[in-house]
Amino acid sequence: NKVSRNVNKALLKDNKSLWQENKAPWQEKKKPSENHLICEENQSLRQQNQVLCKFNRTISDSQKSPGEEMNALNTKKQQNRALEAQIRAPREEEIAFQNDKALQEEIRSLHEEIKALHQKHTIKMEEEALMKEGLALELEKQALWKEEQALREENKALREENSALQEEEKALLEEAKVLEEWTQILQKPNQTLKIEKKKQNKTKKKTTKK
């Protein structure tokens, strides 16, 4: 009986330790439904422990044979194993819940990373397109600059040609002026000769009449 009582005390101590371990995840639970479920499980454990205490007291008070005591101890061990399984179940559920939560968080993080990579790739493609567009604009700018230079050269040539034509026109005007002056000079003796011839003809006519 003394050995049985010592064993039962050890089992009660184990039950109390298991109940304390079960209390921690119960406090960490956030959902009301899960908290309520754990409270009910703890209440059931308390009732079972009370039944075990009464059972132990009954065993200690009664004078049973060693075989009966061993059977009672085996029954107690089986009950304790069942209690341990009940206590482990919420903890295992909590671990599974936390693992699932961590997995979901990792998946979400991977989705965010993939999204960021897609955005980075899109930005890179846009940058390449802008660089190509900038290069095309630079080439177009160079072509326009060359065209402008060609037009300036052509304009310069036309101005030089116009200036040469103006000089030529000026020279021609000067030449025409000189020719006109010479023409006037050359025309004066002819007019004098014509006047003298007219006078001579008049004189001859008068002489003939006489």
Q: Where are the domains of the chain?
A: 2-106
- Which of 21-25, 121-125, 189-193 tops mean pLDDT? 121-125
Q: What is the pLDDT of residues 107-152, one digit of tens each?
A: 999 989 999 998 999 999 999 999 999 999 999 999 999 999 999 9
| The pLDDT of residue 173 is above 80 | yes
3-class DSSP state of 60:
helix
d(CA 89, CA 83): 10
pTM score, whole prediction: 0.33
Separation of alpha carbons 114 and 91, rounded Å: 34
- CA 105, CA 31: separation in Å to the nearest integer? 19
Lowest mean pLDDT among 23-37, 97-111, 194-208: 23-37
CA distance 170 to 103: 98
**Looking at beta carbons, which pairs linking 18-25 to residues 24 or more positions away fall under 8 Å?**
18/45, 18/83, 18/84, 18/87, 19/45, 19/46, 19/49, 19/87, 21/87, 21/91, 22/87, 22/90, 22/91, 25/90, 25/91, 25/94
Q: Which of 5-9, 38-42, 63-67, 165-169 has the highest mean pLDDT?
A: 165-169
Q: Looking at residue 59, what is its pLDDT?
A: 60
What is the pLDDT averaged over residues 151-155? 93
pLDDT tens profile 86-96: 777 777 887 88
Give me the pLDDT at residue 86, please.
75
The pLDDT assigned to 5 comes to 66
Cα–Cα distance for residue pair 53/170, rounded to 1 Å:
140
Task: Please give the Cα distance from 24 to 96 (Å, whole number).
Answer: 16
The Cα 13–Cα 178 span in angstroms is 145
User: What pLDDT is attached to residue 30?
Assistant: 47
